[in-house]
Chain A
Amino acid sequence: MNVQNNNSVILTENVTKEYHDNGVAVHALNGISMSIERGEFTAIVGPSGSGKTTFLNIISGLDRLTQGKTWLAGKLLSEMSGRELSDFRRDHIGFIFQAYNLIPVLTVEENVEYIMLLQGVPKTERRERVHGVLEQVGLEGYADRLPTRLSGGQQQRVAVARAIVSRPALVLADEPTANLDSHTAVGLIEMMRDLNQESGMTFLFSTHDVRIMERARRLIVLEDGRIARDEIQAAAAGRQA
């Protein structure tokens, strides 16, 4: 099913996720309905166990929901097979995780190139885009390095480069600054916000980081698997404008 006449990148309808932990039913998400529009820079916040990561996993097709519906870029995820979901993520979503983001045996260039290799992008174009995006994240000259020879901040920049290189409709970032020092974290957030403003790429964060919250245009607060608050931050919106 396609959702037409809609500017939504993500649309969820009564999303529920229940799983069992040692035989005990845990309601991670309780009927979440929401929409994320193209070009948003949105943060999902909430205490540990509130369902932030589960929500990101559900809307990206990494996990299956128990009830409800999720559309991503107009596609109903529950209708897709595992392979279709893989291809869909490859083509429409960029991921940034908290840590261990990169494939350690591949160089920076190969890590960034990875998704384009899966997409079958020709070599010349791959190289051009990789070098362009590495320049964008300030890592020109690091192409041949292995991730282990980079700092945490540099590794996250590579992760950002990998997430945006295929020009996805949506970038999902799960606690991207959790392991970074304050200075590096601010630099990374600013960089992502610049990318959002320059290219109109949609960013959705799950975070505890107040610096991201401050810079997010929209803040969705989750508590016990429910949306407790969903608000546009005037200050951040103003800064973006």
Chain B
Amino acid sequence: MTLYLKLAWRNIFRNKRRTFIAGTAIGIGLAALIYTDALIIGMERNMIDSATASFLGEGQIHREGFQETFEVEKSIVNLADVSARLDAEPIVDRYAVRAMSFAMISSPANVSMISMVGIEPEKEQYLSQIDEALIDGGYFEGNNRRDIVIGSKLADLLEVGIGDRVVLTAAQAHTGDLAQEMFRISGIYYLNVAELDRGMAFIGLPMAQQMLNIGQNAHEIAVRFTSNEYGRDRSLPFWSEFSTDGNEAQGWVDLLPQLEAAFELSDFSTILVAIILFGVVALGIINTLFMSLYERMFEFGVMRAVGTRPLAMGRLILFEAAALAAISVVFGALLGLVVTWWSASVGIDYSGIEFAGVTFRELLYPELALMQFIKYPFWVFVFTVVIGLYPATYAARMSPARAMRESF
């Protein structure tokens, strides 16, 4: 065994240029896999953050059916009890209560249909990024109940600015009577998310409750957990514990099914990239090993003649494949580390690009993970050795006389 390991190791350095080219090809393939994986992890995190941190939250509680109909009457059952349980829930970091309804907003210049959202500004700033995205005015400063914060695109549509007056009109619960209130624009935000910048307006929760005639009730509780993995975990007991009394608790994975579908697409893309890379690498390995084998036909013939068993010849080729794989894997892992680390330190600017209904708001940072340097090198190594089985079988079956005859 040691003899063939020694032979294999020395053999792959007989033609250094070829080993370098083949090793580089395999190494670049591995580095590309590591980088793709890191990019997808970074992209998923970025998309989750963009989707959940802007407004959605990592989880939400509603009355059953509210999501589908947006009916004002469908407020959360036992809001006080639910809030108390959320206060006691260890995995909940923050939560914010919202009252919401479709409404009409009008200015002297224009009118638009929007989602009117009543919020608790102090709590909401931990759940959404409206306060951070302000480009004009302030975020419910001065506790004025007629303050309204709207998106920049809506402001453009209504042709309003800070201090201008707008009127909100919404239907009240149970009666359907129209409630109309005047507000002054106190803040304008730009989140770079079309849906939020043009389709929403934020007012204080008490004012919304009054307009909608829902008393102290609310329609939505947005939740942020102590770990951002919880929102994706459908098996988390939290969902069933808070889906009681006619309420329904859901993570972002169910609130934004298109995001999960996009991630599945990304995973499929990774597999596709892997298949293509592995295919190219496989051809490279086969070519390298066969070139090396054909160059040494007489030598193999001599080795067989002096008593090397057929299986041992195959083993030698397999060891050569393994030696090539070992060098390539080390090179590829290092290259993958350097490229990913560099890319993760400078970031990739996808901001403003929308994918699966989510707009990238921050720089995209590929994420390094230990598994990338275990899983992919392991598979590339195994794959290279498995590919080596083909030339190894050829070498093992080679007749010594034919090998020597064909070498001339």
Chain B nearest CB: distance from A101 CB in Å?
6
Residue from the list B14, B306, B310, B401 in contact with A83, Cβ < 8 A: B310
> A-B contact count, CB below 8 Å?
71
B362 at the interface (CB under 8 A from A): no
Q: A57-B401, A104-B14 are in contact. Are A89 and B306 (CB under 8 A)?
A: yes
Contact stretch, chosen from A90-98, A218-226, A233-241:
A90-98
Interface size for chain B: under 10, 10 to 19, 20 to 34, or 35 or more residues?
20 to 34
Chain A contacts with B in 92-114, Cβ cutoff 8 A: 94-95, 97, 100-106, 114
Known A62-B401, A104-B14, A105-B11: A114·B306 in contact at CB below 8 Å: yes
Contact with A along B383-408 (1 / 0, CB 8 A): 00000000000000001111010010
What is the chain B residue whose CB lies nearest that of A87?
A: B307
Q: Interface digits, A50-89 against B, CB 8 Å rule (1 contact, 0 not)?
A: 0000000100101110000000000000000011001101
Contact residues of B between 309 and 346, Cβ < 8 Å to A:
309-312
Knowing A83-B310, A86-B304, A105-B14 touch, does A117 contact B3 (C-beta < 8 A)? yes
Q: Does B7 contact A (CB under 8 A)?
A: yes
Using Cβ atoms and an 8 Å threshold, which residues of chain B touch A62? 301, 304-305, 399-401, 404
Q: How far is the CB of A132 from chain B (nearest CB, A)?
A: 19
Q: Which residues of B contact A105 (CB under 8 A)?
A: 7, 10-11, 14
Contact B399 A63 (CB under 8 A): yes
Question: Measured between alpha carbons, how far is A89 from B401 in the docked complex, in Å?
Answer: 13
How far does the Cβ of A107 sit from chain B's closest Cβ, in whole Å?
A: 10
Asked if A95 and B399 make an inter-chain contact with CB atoms under 8 angstroms apart, the answer reads: no
A214 to B310, alpha carbons, bound, how many Å? 38
What residue of chain B has the Cβ atom nearest to residue A113's Cβ?
B3
**Are B7 and A90 touching (Cβ within 8 A)?**
no
* Beta-carbon nearest neighbor of A83 in chain B: B309
Q: Does A134 contact B (CB under 8 A)?
A: no
Question: Are B299 and A115 interface neighbours, CB within 8 A?
Answer: no
Asked if A162 is an interface residue, CB under 8 A from chain B, the answer is yes
Task: State the Cβ distance, A60 to closest chain B Cβ, in Å.
Answer: 7
B303: CB under 8 A from chain A?
yes
Residues of chain A from 180 to 201 with CB closer than 8 A to chain B in the complex: none
Residues of A within 8 A of B399 (CB): 62-64
Please tell me if the beta carbons of B310 and A82 are within 8 angstroms of each other in the complex.
Answer: yes
B298 closest partner in A (C-beta): A100
Residues from chain A with a CB closer than 8 A to the CB of B400 are: 62-63
Contact B308 A86 (CB under 8 A): yes
Least CB distance, A50 to chain B, in whole angstroms: 16
- Contact A86/B3 with A97-B302, A105-B10 known, Cβ cut-off 8 Å: no
Whether, in the assembled complex, A210 has its beta carbon less than 8 Å from a beta carbon of chain B, the answer is no
B299 x A86 contact (CB < 8 A): no
- Measured CB to CB, the nearest residue on chain B to A105 is B10
Chain B residues with CB under 8 Å of A24's CB are none
Q: Are A83 and B307 in contact (CB under 8 A)?
A: no
* Shortest distance from the beta carbon of B404 to any chain A beta carbon, whole Å: 7
A105 to B309, CA, bound (A): 19
**Distance A101 CA – B401 CA, assembled complex (angstroms):** 14
Closest-by-CB residue of B relative to A57 is B401
In whole Å, how far is B242's beta carbon from the nearest beta carbon of chain A?
69
- B305 in contact with A115 (CB, 8 Å): no
Chain A residues lying within 8 Å of B10, measured Cβ to Cβ, are 105-106
In the assembly, what is the distance between CA of A83 and CA of B397, in Å? 11
Known: A97-B302, A100-B299, A106-B7. A86 touches B309 (CB 8 A): yes
Q: Which 10 A-B pairs have the closest CB atoms?
A: A90-B307, A105-B10, A63-B401, A62-B401, A57-B401, A62-B400, A86-B309, A100-B298, A89-B307, A95-B305
Which residues of B come within 8 Å of A, CB atoms? 3, 7, 10-11, 14, 298-299, 301-312, 399-402, 404, 407
Can you list 29 pairs linking A and B with CB atoms under 8 Å apart? A62-B304, A62-B401, A64-B399, A83-B309, A83-B310, A83-B311, A86-B307, A86-B308, A86-B309, A89-B305, A89-B306, A90-B306, A90-B307, A90-B308, A95-B306, A97-B298, A97-B305, A97-B404, A100-B302, A101-B302, A103-B7, A103-B299, A103-B303, A105-B7, A106-B7, A106-B10, A115-B306, A117-B3, A162-B306
